[in-house]
Amino acid sequence: MGFKHLREFQINIFGLSNKLHEFEFEIDNKLFAAKENSLVEKGSGQCKLSLKKSETMMNLHFEINAEVELICDRSLDPFEYPIAIEEDIIIKFGEDDYELSEEVFVIRKDSPSFNVGDFIYEFISLAVPMKKLHPRFADEDEQEDLIYTSGGEESPEESKDDEVDPRWEALKKLKD
């Protein structure tokens, strides 16, 4: 299943004049269910889209405010994670459909419409943190970060053995 069947994210290109257009899309669980093995299964929010159309291309500016349900990596408890992002995409008109870069896409100039559901889904998925922690662990997690310092104290290896590896000795000379 893909986003093509989600008609609420479909934009009719032929019906648009060459000027700025504003759209609003409701984000709900259907968006996340359209993608197999989605990082996010539940969520809701809103996407405001400003689309500036010209003869050769369209500039799209997405403003997404949503809340998605994530599962805590530590406790396996579900929690709501707020997402507020702004992204820009350029869609050029050409002879075929392809992706030039992460921000520039080409669609056929005779395409009657295109679907923005895929863009919205990708932007939200990329905003999900790698480490998903319930808010109650936020303060605790900051304290657990390991910080390496070289405060001049001898390492345990040096205190056990007076001989120092010559490579470390050479590096110490560089430090001084």
Q: Which H, E and C letters describe 91-154, residue by residue?
A: EEEECCCEECCCCEEEEECCCCEEECHHHHHHHHHHHCCCCCCCHHHHHHHHHHCCCCCCCCCC
151 part of a folded domain: no
CA pair distance 71, 79, nearest whole angstrom: 6
Residue 15: pLDDT over 90:
no
Say which amino acid occupies 27: I
Answer yes or no: pTM beyond 0.85: no
- Residue 40 in tokens: 């996010």
- Is 23 domain-assigned? yes
- Range in 45-54, 66-75, 155-164 the model is least confident about: 155-164
Residue 161 lies in a domain: no
d(CA 27, CA 43): 7
Provide the pLDDT for residue 38: 85
Confidence of residue 24 (pLDDT cuts 50, 70, 90): very high
Flag whether 15 is in a domain. Answer: yes
The structure tokens listed for 34 are 């359209």
Domain-embedded: residue 156: no
3-state helix, strand, coil in the chain (%, to 5): 25, 35, 40
Domains of the chain: total: 1
In a domain, 153, yes or no: no
150 in any annotated domain: no
pLDDT tens for each residue of 81-139: 999 999 999 999 999 999 999 899 999 989 999 999 999 999 999 999 999 988 888 76
- Domain range for 85 is 7-139
